[in-house]
Amino acid sequence: MSHEELFEVAPLAALGVLDPALQRAFREHAAACPACRRELDSFAPALTGLALCLPSPRLRPGARDRLLAGLPARPLRPSPWRAALPVAAALLLALALWAQQRAVRAEGRSRELAEALAAEREQAALLGRELDEAATVSRLLARPEARLVSLGGQPAAPDAGARVVFHPETCEAVLLVSGLAAAPAGHVYEVWVIAGPVPIAAGTFQANAAGEARVRLPVLRETARVQTFAVTLEPAGGRPAPSGPLVLAGTVS
């Protein structure tokens, strides 16, 4: 079916009344078509309205307490594209463990090996994080709606440069930095998303020994209408509003 025909049935898709094959076709098309997704979302208030207009009988007392008393532990819920990471990390760990166990049997140097194991674990975790961020970058870059902004080094860090890849609808964003000296002791770099009069804090980071950093920014609504991405040097832990020198800035064209 054409885009026009699918756009036309968006109100029916929002209600979920299309026959299953067509409902599926709409879902697949909308996943890649921002106009159809917007049209679909525009019916959300109507759907909610159909519930809001109903009379609301009182719930039996005690229902709230039962709910709160019986809450299950919250599972950590990695995003789907991170699903492969635990497997990779587990494999690395298993490999490390196997190597360690062999070594223990052969040489009995348990303390040294425990340290090595800890280092392996740390390395696996680091690798996991890097994979995670790399996956976000490549996934973002693959999306035709993704946008790229260059950030220039400011007088406080003239050799630094950076880019932000972001998706204006899902508001995912990744910052890639190069040529940035490590922050002085007790300091970190802090990212700001500026979409209005007040810059919104978007996390802190450190540059590595090569002067590079890859930072996945939190999903912020402001990213949808961002005008400027900026980085400042701030005391450790970051600040709710920028207070230190500006090191990188780039305006969305």
The residue ranges that bind other proteins (CB under 8 A) are: 8-9, 11-12, 14-20, 41-60, 63-64, 66-68, 70-72, 74-75, 77, 169-171, 221, 224
**Is the distance from CB of 12 to CB of 42 less than 8 angstroms?**
no
Min dist CB 60 to other proteins, Å, is: 7
For the CB of residue 189, give the shortest distance to other proteins in the complex, in Å. 24
DSSP state letter for 59: P
The residue among 22 and 116 lying less far from other proteins, judged by its C-beta, is 22
- Minimum distance of other proteins from residue 28's CB (angstroms): 18
Say if residues 165 and 148 touch (Cβ distance below 8 Å): yes
Nearer to other proteins, 68 or 83 (CB): 68
Q: Which is nearer to other proteins, 55 or 197 (CB)?
A: 55
Q: Taking the complex as a whole, how short is the minimal distance between the CB of residue 231 and other proteins, in angstroms?
A: 23
User: Nearer to other proteins by C-beta: 53 or 142?
Assistant: 53
Dihedral sign of CA atoms 236, 242, 248, 253 in order: positive
Structure tokens at 57: 């009988």
Task: Specify whether the CB–CB gap between 46 and 39 falls below 8 A.
Answer: no
How near is the Cβ of 140 to other proteins at its closest, in Å?
A: 16
CB of 117 to other proteins, least distance (A): 30
Q: How far apart are CA 225 and CA 193, in angstroms?
A: 10
Nearer to other proteins by Cβ, of 11 and 179: the residue is 11
203 backbone φψ class: left, alpha, beta (φ>0; ψ -120 to 50): left
Phi-psi region of 171 (alpha: psi -120 to 50; beta: other; left: phi over 0): left
DSSP one-letter code for 82: G
Cα–Cα distance measured from residue 14 to residue 34, given in angstroms and rounded to the nearest whole number: 15
Given the complex with other proteins, which of 120 and 169 has the nearer CB atom?
Answer: 169
